[in-house]
Amino acid sequence: MMKRFALERQRNMDKKSIYNLNEDEELTHYGQSLADIEKLNDIVDSDSDTEERGALSAELTEAHFGGGGGLLRKKDASAQKEEEPEKAKSRKELIEELIAKSKQEKRERQAQKEQTLDLTEKLDGDWKEIHGLLAHKTPKFKRKDDMELKTKPDEYDIIVRELGFEIKAQPSDRMKTEDELAKEEQERLQQLEAERLRRMLGEDKGNKNRPKHTSADDLVDGFVLDKDDRQLLSYKDGKVLNLGDEEGDNENEDEGVMEEGNEASGEDEENETSDDSHSDLESGSNSQEVDGTPENKETVKTKPKRSLLRREEKAQSEPVGAELPYTFTVPESYEDLQQLLSGKSADQQLIVLERIQKCNHPSLAIGNKAKLEKLFGFLLEYIGELATRNPPELKTVDKLVLHLYNLCQMFPETGGGCVRSVLRDAAHEMEEMIEVKGRAVFPQLDVLVILKITSILFPTSDFWHPVVTPALSYMSQLLIKCPVISLEDVTAGLFVCCLFLEYVSLSQRFVPELINFLLGILHLAVPSTGIVGYTLVHPFRPHRKNSELLLVSNKEDIETWHKKNLSLYAVNGLTETSKTELNHYRLSCLATCLDLVKKSIALYGLLPAFNEIMGPIRILLTNHFPVKEYTKQLQDLVNSVLEEIDSKEKHYEPLVFEKKKPVPLKLYTPKVMEVLEFGRKQGCSREERERKRLIHKHKREFKGAIREIRKDSQFLAKQQLSEIMERDAERKRKVKQLFNSLSTQEGEWKALKKKKMKGRL
């Protein structure tokens, strides 16, 4: 131990630096050097399955590492002496011998493995023969449980199987923005216009998709069905009908502006087509048109109805010179728009307006927004012109409303300003007519159509709206300032009443002008009598020249009458000339008025003053209206109106003051106790509290006096200090002045002395 300790100390002293940790030291483990262990001399052969794993033969070591002499020298000396020295083998011979031995050992291991597998299979076969002789059965309850477990799957397994059969979401393309769609539509229309011009100039080389000539021996190996042209068939009454026939029947549906559900037709995006393939003739094959019916004039709901292909086919069916271009510029004036749309059918006008909007979308150029804003005003003026024609083209107006709606959605402020200007001009004309003639007349059909379009373009249920509110005010002025002197006035007034009900269908606002006008229209069908149990308001009077305008006395005309809807064409002038036709029209006006009364009852049935509102109409229909003289259809209509009025129960009562003042509840006078101060002073007597109060007051006053005295003394001290400072400053100034004068005199004396000395010299 002492020797080992001395060696370790000597080794440490031999270090160059005691702080150098990178010097090599020999580390041991169980007496063996770690450097020798890290050499990994005992490599394990992965192909060896014998028990002597990791044991390397001397030949293997000598072949790979060039050694083995040390191992041979460790053999017995007697064996080395007896053996005769053999010739040394070359390296190549040793490697070949090593490879041969490795292959032989591998074959032996493979044979042993196969033998083991054969013995295992033989043992399994013997076990199956013996297993049948063993009498071993599982209990019945265990077998039942096992069967139930096998038959009834777990909830988790059920959920996993369901998830496996669920439909996976399919990836879809990114939705394009509005600007991208507008750009694609503009490029498509420009391409179609270029193809049209090329065909017009005769430069079209023909359709590339035209079928080529095929010989009789052609096997048509390259035939590919690009498009399924098969048509679906349907049977009706034993006859075969094509699906296209039913679609053709639905394409002829058109509705007028007078109906409650006005339609606004639109068009979807068309698919792109390839160049030089007459794509303009096939562009509408995959597109569909959408009609919107404004429900309560709040939103426009769309439903598929007609296809754009029908319009394209109509446009292409015209002569070659009348083929529509695919690109248009926005008209700069109303005359340009009128010239652009004149001489074209309604479908062609819709196509032109649609292409104008798509080719000049605001996202395509900077100035397109201002151009389309002007287009809204031009289109509104054009609709007014269509309504004033003879006869009015109301079906075309009905189709143009959709483009007007689209432009209004893009530019709501501009649309509202244009409609307001039209209503303002109409109101000014009515006021001027009242000033000049003393009475106003109902406007022409163009203004009434604008009022109808207003309910489609803007929401009518708002409490206040910059466009709808002036429209409501203007319509109320029409009903109270325009006298009814002809059947045209009756038609216009009933149309305004219909618009009123449409405007207030959601907000349920009460419009007294509406009820008054309907009462007046019914009064025109009552024979003139001296006393009436209801009050008429202007413009209706009990006894007037036209007070029996809707009275029909001819029984033959009454019996031959059938209920019909009023035509808006009558606003510009009646086409009926005979007395029978005029009497039939009067009865149709009465039926329409009663229908509007029923709608008013359904709208205002829950108002608190419903009985007061509908009371005059009930009295007129019960006591004065000649119900028995009319047909059963009109009698049933009058009876249904009376039944609905009576069926509305009086749910609410108007608020009124009570006859006697309510007696107030009995109140008790509270007991008030005087409490001057709280805390420790509360238990003293009154005199003691008064004395303490005076003492406290004296102390407070004394402290206040001391505070004032201190303030006064501080002020006086400040004043005295300021005076002393001023005197000191004055004294210092005078002393400084004296020193300056003395120094000056001293300098003058010295100079004089120098002069005298020079004079002596």
Q: Is 29 helix (H, G, I), strand (E, B) or coil?
A: strand
In this prediction, residue 215 carries a pLDDT of 54
Q: What are φ and ψ of residue 744, in 5° steps?
A: -65, -45
Mean pLDDT of 391-415: 91
pLDDT per position as a tens digit, 337-373: 988 888 888 888 999 999 898 888 888 888 888 989 9
pLDDT band at 666 (very low <50, low <70, confident <90, very high): confident
Distance between CA atoms of 351 and 146, rounded to whole angstroms? Answer: 75
In the predicted model, what is the mean pLDDT of the chain? Answer: 76
What tokens were used for 566?
């009023």
What tokens were used for 305?
């109805």
What tokens were used for 148?
């139930």
Peptide bond into 362 cis (omega under 30): no
Distance between CA atoms of 212 and 362, rounded to whole angstroms? Answer: 45
In this prediction, residue 86 carries a pLDDT of 57
Q: Work out the angle between the directed axes of helices 610-619 and 579-604 (0-180°, nearest 10).
A: 160
Q: Which of 605, 569, 566, 567 is nearest to 587 (CA)?
A: 566
Q: What are φ and ψ of residue 29, in 5° steps?
A: -140, 115
| In the predicted structure, residue 303 carries a pLDDT above the cut 70 | no
Q: What is the C-alpha end-to-end distance of the chain, expressed in Å?
A: 118
Q: What are φ and ψ of residue 698, in 5° steps?
A: -60, -45
Q: Is 240 helix (H, G, I), strand (E, B) or coil?
A: strand
pLDDT band at 74 (very low <50, low <70, confident <90, very high): very low
In this prediction, residue 417 carries a pLDDT of 93
The radius of gyration of the chain from alpha carbons, rounded to an integer in Å, stands at 58
| In the predicted structure, residue 169 carries a pLDDT above the cut 90 | no
Give the DSSP letter string of 158-216: HHHHHHHHSPPPPP-PPPPPHHHHHHHHHHHHHHHHHHHHHHHTT-----TTSPPP--T
Q: Are 473 and 515 in contact (CB under 8 A)?
A: no
In this prediction, residue 241 carries a pLDDT of 56
CA 284 remoteness from chain centre: 29
Peptide bond into 304 cis (omega under 30): no
Distance between CA atoms of 534 and 617, rounded to whole angstroms? Answer: 8
pLDDT per position as a tens digit, 210-225: 555 555 555 555 555 5
Q: Is 32 helix (H, G, I), strand (E, B) or coil?
A: strand
pLDDT per position as a tens digit, 607-665: 878 888 888 899 889 888 888 888 888 999 999 999 988 887 666 666 778 778 878 88
Q: Are 448 and 406 in contact (CB under 8 A)?
A: no
Distance between CA atoms of 420 and 438, rounded to whole angstroms? Answer: 26
Any residues with CB less than 8 A from the CB of 613 and at least 6 apart, and which?
510, 515, 604, 607
- C-alpha separations of 734 from 117, 559, 728, 747 in Å: 137, 136, 10, 20
- What is the residue whose two structure tokens read 């608020």? 655
What b-and-e string marks burial along 737-761, b requiring 16 or more CB atoms within 10 Å of the CB? eeeeeeeeeeeeeeeeeeeeeeeee
Mean pLDDT of 133-159: 65
Q: Is 290 helix (H, G, I), strand (E, B) or coil?
A: strand
Task: Tell me 479's DSSP state.
Answer: H
| In the predicted structure, residue 250 carries a pLDDT above the cut 60 | no
Distance between CA atoms of 568 and 395, rounded to whole angstroms? Answer: 12
Distance between CA atoms of 638 and 90, rounded to whole angstroms? Answer: 133
**Residue type at position 626:** P
What tokens were used for 610?
């419903």
Distance between CA atoms of 758 and 318, rounded to whole angstroms? Answer: 138
Distance between CA atoms of 150 and 144, rounded to whole angstroms? Answer: 10
Distance between CA atoms of 761 and 745, rounded to whole angstroms? Answer: 25
